Amino acid sequence: MNRTFYILILLSGMLSRVYGQGIHSHREIEKDTNTLNHFFANGRFYGHARSYWSGTVNDGNLSDAFAWGAGAGIGYETPKFFKRFQLGLSGFFMFNIKSTDLAKADPLTGQVNRYEIGLFDIERPNDHEDLDRLEELFIKTHFGKKSLVTIGRQIPQSPFINPQDGRMRPTLTEAAVVDINEWTNFKLHGEYIWRISPRSTVRWFEVGESMGIYPVGVDINGKTSQYKGNTESKGVGIFGATYRKKQWSIEFWDTYLENIANTGFLKAEWKSKTVAGKNWFIGGQLVKQNALGNGGNTDPAQAYTQSGATSTVISGRIGRQSSKFDWYINATRITAEGRYLMPREWGREPFYTFMPRERNEGFGDVTATSINTFYKPIKNLKIEISGGYFQLPDTKNFALNKYGMPSYSQINLGVTYQFEKYLKGLNALLLVVRKDEIGETYQNERYVFNKVNMSHFNLILNYHY
């Protein structure tokens, strides 16, 4: 075990001692609140335990895979000191309890596992035990009415850089973040990110270094992309503005990836007034992306994107919401100008047609449609059935198809249950995914393996305290 584990043990012991003294010496602390024990006892102690089973069944003789991971973490946030400052710290350790050989390539395609390998550390797929990470380590400064500055390791919350909580641990960033909440209906957000620890890793990376940890696909000429380890960027700057009033919500975000690309995102959503417990919902999104600098490297063959590249994404949704049943019809169009690109290591895409376990990043000339339904028969149970049709460029159209993904259909079944009483804080998620090919695969199994004609299963247990 490395030092992160011992830090967590030390933190746990310290807090247990503080809280224990808070219980057994209550009268003494009441008499003298000017003590370190009293200070720590008024902080926030939190934890998370997680069990994640994942399995993938591929077509024919292609390799199947499964993995079962479990882990736990603790964190602590101090109360305010000097009236405006707080410190926070958290960490998590996990174990590969049982899995297939996640480093072994499929004999027919030469490709490695896609989903289960991401539960742990994709850089060390056969490491079953030494998987721990110091996740949060920050200082907060409160100012104004509700505004604050957070500097250090933290959980990102923006449209394109976000936790993407679909494996054992989420994406985290090392950044300076400003949230200005001085107005009733209007909020401003700004941040500068200089390091990232992507989901499915335990290390921290410079921004350019983090791009290419996941599969890199091919360049516009059909050759294996070479940007891994060759991407140069000083960091990511993000600006966000949100306006919410009555039935309207309008957001604008700009993600500036220095020397590589700028991505602007505009979203507007409207809810009708509730009548008989039901309301209508309409939403629209517009994304415009342009290459910056040299795209990450002076050598075009090693750049993340090509100089002058651009892409546009339009996404929309209409639906009906109620206490028992919600439904939505969604559509997304990525134009044929070029590939929409955003490092998959950093977060899930915000488009309305997004469905868990697949993305449309890396493609241009995409037409996607989907339907989502959510049924809540009782208070703690939620059932989702969603289906989508994703028309992508031909797998050999390398300029617009980065990952050799054929057009496909997808159906998701999700069941979520929140426990109560003695098990309050525990929730369970069952997710079943089915994807089938629609486009041409040219009898090439590399266009099929872990992409289409496959079933994928997740059973996830989370306990938060």
Write down the residue that tokens 């099929």 correspond to. 448
Domain range enclosing 69: 43-464
Per-residue confidence (pLDDT) for residue 240, from 0 to 100: 98
Check: pTM over 0.75? Answer yes or no.
Answer: yes
CB 104, CB 73: distance < 8 Å: no
Grade residue 28 by pLDDT with cuts at 50, 70 and 90: very low
Mean pLDDT calculated for residue range 63-85: 96
Per-residue confidence (pLDDT) for residue 213, from 0 to 100: 96
CB 328, CB 354: distance < 8 Å: no
Grade residue 25 by pLDDT with cuts at 50, 70 and 90: very low
Tell me if 6 is assigned to some domain.
Answer: no
- Domain total in the chain: 1
Grade residue 196 by pLDDT with cuts at 50, 70 and 90: very high
pLDDT of residue 31 exceeding 80, the answer is no
Per-residue confidence (pLDDT) for residue 3, from 0 to 100: 53
Tell me if 32 is assigned to some domain.
Answer: no
Tell me if 38 is assigned to some domain.
Answer: no
**Tokens encoding 377:** 């028969």
Distance from C-alpha of 25 to C-alpha of 13, rounded to nearest angstrom: 17
**Tokens encoding 136:** 């949060």
* CATH code of the domain containing 409: 2.40.160.10
Range name among 1-10, 241-250, 269-278, 359-368 with the lowest pLDDT average: 1-10
**Tokens encoding 371:** 């339907």
Tell me if 417 is assigned to some domain.
Answer: yes
Per-residue confidence (pLDDT) for residue 41, from 0 to 100: 86
Per-residue confidence (pLDDT) for residue 248, from 0 to 100: 97
Grade residue 129 by pLDDT with cuts at 50, 70 and 90: confident
Please, what sign has the CA dihedral across residues 161, 164, 165, 169?
negative
Grade residue 26 by pLDDT with cuts at 50, 70 and 90: very low
Mean pLDDT calculated for residue range 346-375: 97
Tell me if 174 is assigned to some domain.
Answer: yes
Between 7 and 170, the more confident residue is 170
Tell me if 14 is assigned to some domain.
Answer: no
Distance from C-alpha of 190 to C-alpha of 262, rounded to nearest angstrom: 15
Between 37 and 279, the more confident residue is 279
What sections of 265-404 are H helices per DSSP?
A: none
Between 130 and 263, the more confident residue is 263
Query: In whole angstroms, how far apart are CA 31 and each of 27, 28, 47, 232?
Result: 6, 5, 30, 58
Tell me if 35 is assigned to some domain.
Answer: no
Tell me if 4 is assigned to some domain.
Answer: no
Q: What percent of the chain has pLDDT over 90?
A: 89
